[in-house]
Structure 1
Amino acid sequence: MASRHTQRKSTRRNIQGIEAPPELNPLEHEELPMSTPTRRDALATTPRERQHGSFNLVTPLPLSFPVKPDDSVTLYRARMDNRDVVLRTLKEKADDSERQSFLGFASFLSELGPHPFLPGLMGVVSLRTSLITVMEELVHRDLLGFLWRCRQDTGVESPCDITEQRIFTIGGQVASALEYLHGQSCIHGNVGARSVLVGLDLTAKLWGLGPAYCKKTQAGAPGELQNVEMRKWQAPEVLARRPVSQSSDVWSFGILLHEIVTLGDPPFPKIMAGDLLQYLQRGKTQTRPANCSNSLYSIIKSCGQFAPQERPALAEVIQKLQSGEKSANSRTVLRVPEPLDIEKYLREAGYGEAYNYVVL
């Protein structure tokens, strides 16, 4: 399987062979804070130590154009204990604070414990210059790229086939992981298709845990945006820099469902990210997608209530998803005939507005 995926080059303008726009790679660009516990404290809580020689068939994962030119983490695909894994390797040039942050994030993942819909942390190599965290590999990578590949895939019995029933299944899996995180006193803060990974059997697992780690380890304003380029996924109270709650994740979960049913369209495509809060304050909502059933749209709409207290609890959302899954269409495959224009997507999703408010 490693050879099938090796050395696939990405471009900004061509969908062929890429999983997501470079700015959206959830594995390569996990945001980590620079203030963490001391190295000794981090080491004391890291998960099971792995030996550097435990890995074989190590190959680089395809690299995307980096958001930060000095990104300190490199990804590799490898085999360990007869399983495919991803090695998140801290570059040797990393300074002490980056090393502490890297180990602190590994400790954070370990403390969360296992869950069937969170990627598995399988070990840490911390006794060498190059620090490594070992994660299970999910071969279809991020859900956003997977949805984009589903748009034009016309093969018979394609693994990319997304039906209405599959949307309910994926939604239930992500909601289950999110409810588990909330039970661990973690607000995810980064829910979206870019932050969900897809396995070979199309099991969805929630990733993108950098903001959750930041909230655990850094003091800041209660409504502080972790990533200003993710504003179109953020609840109104987050945009307004007011206190964030579990309901803020519920809002973003509704956006995720909208992404799935549209096979990866950006939210609020006609609205500038900087104008989104005012748009929502006027009572505006997302339009109903063409292929969206009444039962699915009712969930999306309930998650998108402006007031946090009016959004459903995740337990209620999960119950509705499970109920909807039983009666959902399992035959009709969703398709979007228009080819993906990545540059257009980046504009409509609000990328770059933090630095340039002129939309070309």
Structure 2
Amino acid sequence: MATNTTTTTTTTTTTTNRTCAPTDNLCIVVTYQQAVIIIPVFLLLGSVITIATMLVLVYLHRKRVRRAANAAPARFGRSRHRRTRHLQGIDAPPGIDPLEHEEVPMAVHKRATGVAVPRVTTEGRLGSFGQVAALPRTLSMATDESVVLYRARVDHKDVVLRVLKDSAAREERRRFLGFASFVSGLGPHPFLPAVLGSVTTPPSTAVMVVEELRHGDLLGFLWRCRRTDASPYQMTEKRLFAMATQVSSALEYLHSRQCVHSNVGARSVLVGGDLTAKLWGLGAAYRRQSRAANAADATELKKWQAPEVLAGRDFSPSSDVWSFGLLLYEMITLGEPPFAQLRSTDLLQHLQRGNYLRRPPGCSNKLFAVMSSCCQGSPRRRIAAATLAEELRAGEMTADGRTLVRAAGPLDTEKYLREAGYGEAYNYAAL
């Protein structure tokens, strides 16, 4: 039986092969068209359909992404409102400082997050932040009438809001935005206050958000150290060296960025809750840069200016170092002004006669040596900012960390204003 089946199959195959001559191509194509033509055509058609489907899906996906991006600010605001009634407007993830601005190029952080601020009046605008309270002015705060300062909470952080008034003129708005751009261009540093955001909404809304340092300006902190021995208002020589080291590190960084501070003093240093000292008061540096000034700014306190600046020369890194020496004087005296018995108009002549800073009571040899190296009459003889930081670190290692710094007497505010020269010049500083 198997023999018969094999014979039949062989006969059929032989018959089929014999139906087409070896040279009859048409006959061969017709006979094998399913294997040669139909199946490849179906495979090609299936590939085309698959590719077309993928392209359509990619197009639809991109379209959905664009729609989501356009709707993100609104959804973001609603979702934030559901979590808490306060934290709308600015939401900076940990580790990111979004310097987002519609008009000012913020080149420091490229991974900026979106910021949404309602387009309303100044009063209504503050509803975007939590626990808003007016920030009382002190001697060390800016007296720019176009800017209002507030303390607030954003994303569980204490911040200070610099809010441009709706009534601000065009030139005031230009300065406000220019200062935001200037600060952002300096970049982040551990001993410069962090700028958490800069937001504008046409036509007039402008808010700059800066981290708040709990104890405020160093001058006020030193005055509080006079009144109480309670922690944290306990200034020792060791703490003095530590805080001065931090400020000198910030000053060295600014000089590396080709920025001369030109307003170094206790009024321009902010103190955090952990007693970290951060250098601020950059308004003078911005004003000088924007005006390309070649002489001392008449609005700044002259008691802290180097002799060459008082004589009409431009500010320089070495003039910052001179002012830093006077900052050390303020710290060891708990906030007394330098050259208290002189008028600002008599200071230059006094210095030109070779009379320099006197050693304060209770000042150690090491600290006075650093102060003297800063306050040399010749700029070339003054210590460099980089070397200054090293000297301060070395001084901190051996400084007294137990004995409290004491003031010579109680503070008389009116006397301070007179001796510091507030009646002869106008002060701009921290914020």
TM-score tier, shorter chain, comes to: 0.7 to 0.9
For 1:135, the equivalent position in structure 2 comes to: 210
Tell me how far 1:65 sits from its aligned partner.
8.5
Residues 251 and 337 (structure 1), Cα distance of their counterparts in 2 relative to 1, 3 Å cut: closer
Question: 2:303·2:344 contact (CA, 8 Å) conserved in 1?
Answer: yes
For 1:353, the equivalent position in structure 2 comes to: 424
Tell which has more relative contact order, 1 or 2 (C-alpha 8 A, sep 6+). 1
For 1:261, the equivalent position in structure 2 comes to: 332
Indicate yes or no: 2:236 matched with 1:175: no
Which of 223, 235, 238 is the equivalent residue of 1:148?
A: 223
Tell me how far 1:208 sits from its aligned partner.
0.5
Give the TM-score, by structure 1 length. 0.82
Residues 69 and 209 (structure 1), Cα distance of their counterparts in 2 relative to 1, 3 Å cut: closer
Gaps of 5+ in 2: 1-100, 119-127, 427-431
Residues 212 and 167 (structure 1), Cα distance of their counterparts in 2 relative to 1, 3 Å cut: same
Which of 52, 59, 62 is the equivalent residue of 2:117?
A: 52
For 1:37, the equivalent position in structure 2 comes to: none
Q: In the TM superposition, what whole-angstrom CA distance separates every residue of 1:142-186 from its partner, at most 9, and x where no partner exists? A: 00000000001133xx10100000111111000000000001000
Question: 1:123·1:133 contact (CA, 8 Å) conserved in 2?
Answer: yes
Which of 188, 212, 215 is the equivalent residue of 2:288?
A: 215
Take 2:173 and 2:242, find their aligned partners in 1: how far apart are those partners? 38
- Greater helix fraction, Structure 1 or Structure 2: 2
Tell me how far 1:216 sits from its aligned partner.
2.1
Which of 227, 230, 237 is the equivalent residue of 2:308?
A: 237
Tell me how far 1:245 sits from its aligned partner.
1.6
Tell me how far 1:226 sits from its aligned partner.
1.7
For 1:31, the equivalent position in structure 2 comes to: none
Indicate yes or no: 2:389 matched with 1:315: no
Letter in 2 for 1:44: P
Q: In the TM superposition, what whole-angstrom CA distance separates every residue of 1:88-115 from its partner, at most 9, and x where no partner exists? A: 0011100111111101110111111100
Question: 2:263·2:300 contact (CA, 8 Å) conserved in 1?
Answer: no
Take 1:348 and 1:65, find their aligned partners in 2: how far apart are those partners? 14
Question: 1:73·1:88 contact (CA, 8 Å) conserved in 2?
Answer: yes
Tell me how far 1:193 sits from its aligned partner.
0.1
Letter in 2 for 1:249: D
The two structures, once aligned, show a CA RMSD in angstroms of 2.2
Take 2:317 and 2:265, find their aligned partners in 1: how far apart are those partners? 15
Q: In the TM superposition, what whole-angstrom CA distance separates every residue of 1:262-283 from its partner, at most 9, and x where no partner exists? A: 0000000011110000000000
Question: 2:102·2:201 contact (CA, 8 Å) conserved in 1?
Answer: no
For 1:105, the equivalent position in structure 2 comes to: 179
Letter in 2 for 1:112: L
Letter in 1 for 2:117: H
Q: Which moved more, 1:203-212 or 1:61-70?
A: 61-70
Tell me how far 1:69 sits from its aligned partner.
7.9
Give the TM-score, by structure 2 length. 0.69
Take 1:324 and 1:275, find their aligned partners in 2: how far apart are those partners? 34
For 1:20, the equivalent position in structure 2 comes to: none
Question: 2:191·2:246 contact (CA, 8 Å) conserved in 1?
Answer: yes
Question: 1:152·1:336 contact (CA, 8 Å) conserved in 2?
Answer: no
Identity of counterpart residues, as a percentage?
54
Letter in 2 for 1:135: V
Question: 1:152·1:337 contact (CA, 8 Å) conserved in 2?
Answer: no
- Could you say what secondary structure the match of 2:335 adopts? coil
- Could you say what secondary structure the match of 1:133 adopts? strand
Residues 228 and 306 (structure 1), Cα distance of their counterparts in 2 relative to 1, 3 Å cut: farther
